[in-house]
Structure 1
Amino acid sequence: MKSNILVLLFLLTLSSCSKEDEKPEVIKSEAKEITTFEIEGVTTEIDGDIIKIYAPASLDFYYWKPTINISEKASISPVINVKVDFTNPILFRVYAEDGSFKLYTTELILLEGLQEIVLKLGSKDGKQIAVDRYLGKINELNNKIQIDYSGDAVERWESWELFPFLAIETTNDLETEPANNHFIDLSIKDHQLTIPGLDKTYELSIQSSDNFIKGINLPIRREFISSNFARDAFPEYIVGLEEDDILFYTLKNQDLTNITPDYFKISDYASITPDSSLPQDFSEDVVYTVTSETGVSKTRKVRVVEKNILMSNATNGAFSLSYTTNFFRYYIATSPIVDVELVNVETGEILGSEIWQNYETEDGRFYLQMVADEMPESKTSFFYRVTLEEGITVDTHGGVVFDPDGN
């Protein structure tokens, strides 16, 4: 009996050990697919084991960094972390967890269509073309074209009778509407470009990128030319300004705290804040934000410079030319001129002179006529050092250039 019990216990122990040694069978995944293959701005398609890349005609390069998704637990070779050239086929190998693999090959398909669209400026007879050109950005996925241009450049060239037109290139000379070299009205905002042969239409947006203050006038005492850009102004006036900020020159002793501009010009199709028709405190720099038609904003400052005297056309340091010792100038001032010295710009030497006439005109300006003691031997520039009736002496930015040879 005891012997039978021992045998039974041995068999039970043996059975228990064999169950513990058994392990469940691990089934490894055999999934090995490229599930998505995407390139920004380019249409792609996975067709069996071929990855088709449809390159728009507007591209002249085929370097991309694709976004690739594969089956769970699979791996891919090569792994692409940088832009690579897809001009020639690239072979991808996708490995499943079970060690099996699948091959995919890329195929670059060059599409027919729009290659390039450029906004140019030229004469109506086609004989003259401006150097400025604005390349369109073509978005094939959304069928949109955007051309950003400089309104200032267009305005400048139109004064030379060079007008905007579209230069259009297509594959196999496909016809477009509007046609190649079609002159275009930039004031019309809703444009389309159609390629009838491909039954394709693009939304065409042509917008000005300019965001400048182009001119301002304030209803205060000023000369005829009363403003300029900081890039053209004298250094003592432009501290803290950028080159496209505006300076406005006026006489001292005026209330500048609540002034509404009576003329304010910004870039075409741009917007501005604060409203330029509202009064501002111009005793300090006034900061405006000008937003271009393309949506790019830039802050622009307007600074009022107060002076005791403003010589006519001397905002940028203009000098009048004289072939004789007689010359004249208009000015406005906080008080009349009582004395003038002609100071040699190069040497600082004084050229003797005499005031012949100095009187106030009907428009509130002063007319100053002078005669120099002698004519310099060669072309020489002099600026005016004036003393006002109130006892102030000022070195002005205006002057005279004597030219004995009449050149």
Structure 2
Amino acid sequence: MKKIAIIFSLLLFTCSSDDDTSSNNFITSFQLYITNGFVEGDIDEENGEIRFETTGADLNGMTPIIIFSDKATISPSSSQSQNFNNIITYTVTAENGAINSYDVIVDNTPFNTESKILSFSLMIDGVNYDCNINEATKEITLDVVGVDISALSPTISFSESAVISPIPNQVQDFNNSVIYTVTAENGSSSNYTVNITNRPFGTENEILEFSVSDGGQSVSGIIDSNSQNIRLFINNQNIDAISPTITISEYATISPESGVIQDFSSPVKYIVTAENGDTLTYIVSVNPKSINAVNPSFFGHQYYTGTRINVFGNYIDIEQPDAQILLIDGVNEYPMPIVDSEIFSSPGNPTTQIIVIDLPESLPSFANYTLIYRTSEGDIPFNTNLDILQGGPSNMVINQTSFFLNDVLIIDGDNLLSGLVVPSNGNQFIVRNSNNYDIQLNGDATQLTWTMDYQQHFPSYYGDSPQERTIYTIDDNGRVGKPVIATLN
């Protein structure tokens, strides 16, 4: 209970007399029953005040207990109830008529009505975290990652004169919601719910997108998530100073960072670190040289000697003085004669060269040739072996160079094969002796005759003009032989 002081203003009138009448006119004790008991006021004779200090008391209808000078009288009477929300003046009259007045002042501070949590913090692994307080929803929140929140003692500040439960230094398990009740001095209360979100560390460490600007156009790299290799093809800027834009897994970091200029003249290593510390290394190659395809490959890469094949490569140049195509059997290397080459380029796509090769008739049979593009910078292999067999078609002669629907195509030669592959409108038609096609190979394999009665083979069927086509010969097992060139109308 707070100290209660009483101050009375004092008007002191003294009279001198020759008789024996008393001049005493003092209040020596003034008590009020406040809250749970009588409280003595502080009497200030100098200022004529009796002062009390209290909080939230009911001051209506209070009857004081007053002790004052013997033979004196007091007004108003001590038995009279008063409303001490106001200043009450008591006048003490001595026996000789001398008057002394006291102002009774009760300083009654209202109860505090505030019941707020002002701050809420948690010390976790040596780091102090200030929680967010939403006063509207009475929710206290904090987002943390991968920490132990099962036994924490919060530091809490709350409204003056209020009390809180549970008490601040009490250990709590914040894996679940914890409710704190703040009770104001006037008895009103507020409940705050503490919710700590403790998500586990992120484990993802992938590059999701890798792009650069190429001539004002955004070009995305080709990401192989299995090998962590990224290939990027650009044609309109130097590759020794490129600033890539990189998107990675949520919560992960990457080094070097996105937007940092790099020299991609050689492959660049990027390390992606997951939030839990796991790392993954990516190798980014810009305009990497490669051999991507060898055609035709109708039933795998099976060929007879003498067959014409097309080698497709990115960023290679067979016109370089030291460039060559080799077939290697593990011991011997066989340079391939180059018939023709052509380069294609478009934004966002690799610069591609097509190299046309005729497999030499003298090339030894071998089922696992490795095809290699070689320059002074090194060898670039094709990733599929070639199966090459001697004894295929040779000395081939075609009966005419231009054909219409229902014409007969006749091929004369040696070791001819029983079927043909006819390209048309983006498709490859396998022509063999069946109910659909009239094609015949004579007994000694020196003449192949085909009645061309299937209109889908001809460009005119699709509304196109005549086109020169490379028509390959093929045996029953899908091995490809030397082609003939003919115009189909």
Fold conserved between structures, TM > 0.5: no
Q: TM-score interval w.r.t. the shorter chain?
A: 0.3 to 0.5
Q: Which has the higher helix share?
A: 1
With the length of structure 1 as denominator, give the TM-score of the two structures: 0.33
Greater radius of gyration (CA): 2
Relative contact order (alpha carbons < 8 A, sep ≥ 6): 1 or 2 greater? Answer: 1
